[in-house]
């Protein structure tokens, strides 16, 4: 069925900032009709929800990203092909249109968002002290769920945002912190050098880096006794029937490196949806079965990817990892050791027990080490997102370079011998 086209009026925003705050200069541009699913459609939609959207732009307008101060400094979505190009992030129109607050979590979407961990466990900042760690008692801290952030500085290529906040953990201790989040567009030469790849002229690219810093504003040190937190970055993208996440891992014995993958967050992932072959883990990301995997700091190679044959989208994420650091356990179980957790996660959305669904979407996630910080000291975590749009033959050299397999093998991994 042919998609219905909609006329749009776009607000193209350039951030003008000073040390005392920020303001946006807006220029109205009449556009021809743009379909739902394009970047221009989402820019127009989000402009109706927020007056001060920040749009970073490069490559003569082909590479653009939308950053939202109102919605917790999210990178909502991006494009590699201008306003009429595909919108590459997951935007939850239903939740944004509902205009009501959910007490547990407001899933506005966003292809890159800042959260705090741990979600569950002894140090959780999502459950009140003494409460059973079940969904009815789970509440996302408001500063990372519904509160606006401040724009501190920026130009057409980067924006800096800040939020001071206080969260109470499962120990009953209040942790005060300042979050600084700097988001910068990356031009094609930096993409090539950063990943060590060549890019065909026929491949469209958009990329950005987020530098995320938390600073301890308490007058006491965050320790194993007080409980602590970590930076948690989550990327939400649109699934499809043949989309697959690729996660390379470091080989080695379990005695030295721990198990290869944690695959039972929501029950064990069936073998027709999880595959381990050679140096890669593959997760089916069709948005039809809720599943999550995780790798610890010793196993992850600080890179992950997702390929969608139907849209010609290859997404790559890279992130800081310290193989010798302590990572926090995020499981909803206070009895688990809080100091043994994963450094990266991948998620495929799907129906809940009652048949409802949050998206569907897929996620690539990274986590910082535990923030054992003295007063006034900080922890920085860098997370970078790269999108490549093109034909399979042109994306293949990138996949081979970063993951050691062909695009053909990756996209067909679940069609042959599904058992890991």
Mean pLDDT of 345-374: 95
Please, is 380 exposed, middle or buried when counting C-beta atoms within 10 Å of its C-beta (0-12, 13-18, 19+)? middle
Predicted pLDDT at 99: 82
Residue with tokens 């910068």, as numbered in its chain = 184
Summarize pLDDT for 243-258 with one digit per residue, the tens: 999 999 999 999 999 9
* Cα 333 to the center of its chain, rounded Å: 24
Q: How many CB atoms lie within 10 A of CB 93?
A: 14
Helix (H, G, I), strand (E, B) or coil at 277: strand
Predicted pLDDT at 354: 87
pLDDT higher than threshold 60 for residue 347:
yes
pLDDT higher than threshold 50 for residue 192:
yes
Q: Are the C-beta atoms of 180 and 168 separated by less than 8 Å?
A: no
Among 214-218, 272-276, 279-283, 351-355, the minimum mean pLDDT is found in 351-355
pLDDT higher than threshold 90 for residue 20:
no
Summarize pLDDT for 57-115 with one digit per residue, the tens: 999 999 999 999 999 999 999 999 999 999 999 999 999 999 899 999 999 999 999 99
Mean pLDDT of 23-27: 36
Residue with tokens 């935007």, as numbered in its chain = 91
Give the C-alpha separation, 258 to 297, whole Å. Answer: 10
User: Does residue 208 or residue 1 have the better pLDDT?
Assistant: 208
Cα–Cα distances (Å) from 319 to 75, 185, 212, 247, 380, in that order, read: 16, 16, 11, 13, 11
Residue with tokens 């917790």, as numbered in its chain = 72
pLDDT higher than threshold 70 for residue 194:
yes
* Cα 213 to the center of its chain, rounded Å: 16
Q: Are the C-beta atoms of 192 and 94 separated by less than 8 Å?
A: no
Predicted pLDDT at 49: 96
pLDDT higher than threshold 90 for residue 146:
yes
């Amino acid at each position: 069925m042919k998609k219905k086209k909609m006329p749009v009026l776009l607000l193209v925003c350039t951030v003008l900032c000073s040390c005392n705050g920020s303001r946006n200069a807006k220029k109205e541009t009449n556009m021809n009709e743009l379909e739902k699913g394009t970047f221009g459609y989402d820019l127009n939609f989000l402009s109706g929800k927020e007056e001060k959207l920040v749009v970073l732009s490069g490559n003569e307008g082909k590479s653009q990203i939308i950053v939202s101060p109102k919605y917790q400094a999210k990178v909502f979505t991006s494009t590699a092909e201008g306003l009429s190009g595909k919108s590459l992030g997951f935007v939850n129109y239903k939740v944004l249109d509902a205009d009501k607050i959910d007490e547990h979590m407001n899933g506005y979407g966003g292809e890159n968002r800042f959260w705090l961990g741990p979600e569950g466990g002894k140090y959780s900042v999502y459950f009140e002290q003494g409460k059973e760690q079940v969904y009815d008692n789970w509440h996302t801290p408001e500063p990372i769920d519904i509160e606006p952030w401040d724009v501190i500085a920026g130009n057409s290529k980067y924006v800096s945002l800040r939020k001071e906040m206080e969260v109470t953990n499962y120990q009953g201790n209040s942790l005060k912190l300042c979050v600084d989040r700097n988001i910068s567009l990356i031009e094609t030469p930096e993409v090539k050098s950063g990943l060590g790849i060549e890019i065909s002229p026929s491949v469209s690219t958009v990329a950005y880096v987020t530098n995320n810093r938390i600073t301890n504003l308490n007058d006491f040190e965050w320790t194993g006794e007080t409980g602590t937190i970590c930076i948690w970055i989550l990327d939400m993208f649109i699934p499809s029937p043949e989309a697959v996440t690729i996660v390379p891992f470091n080989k080695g014995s379990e005695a030295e490196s721990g198990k290869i993958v944690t695959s039972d967050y929501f029950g064990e992932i069936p073998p027709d949806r999880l595959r381990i072959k050679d140096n890669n883990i593959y997760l089916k990301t069709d948005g039809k079965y809720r599943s999550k995997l995780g790798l610890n700091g010793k196993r992850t190679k600080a890179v992950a990817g997702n390929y969608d044959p139907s849209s010609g989208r290859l997404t790559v994420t890279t992130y800081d990892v310290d193989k010798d650091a302590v990572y926090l356990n995020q499981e909803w179980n206070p009895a688990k050791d809080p100091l043994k957790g994963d450094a990266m996660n991948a998620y495929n959305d799907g129906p809940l027990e009652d048949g409802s669904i949050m998206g569907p979407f897929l996620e690539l996630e990274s986590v910082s080490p535990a923030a054992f910080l003295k007063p006034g000291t900080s922890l920085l975590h860098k997370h970078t997102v790269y999108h490549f749009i093109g034909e399979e033959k042109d994306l293949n050299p990138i996949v081979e370079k970063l993951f050691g397999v062909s695009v053909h093998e990756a996209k067909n991994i679940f069609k042959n011998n599904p058992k890991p």
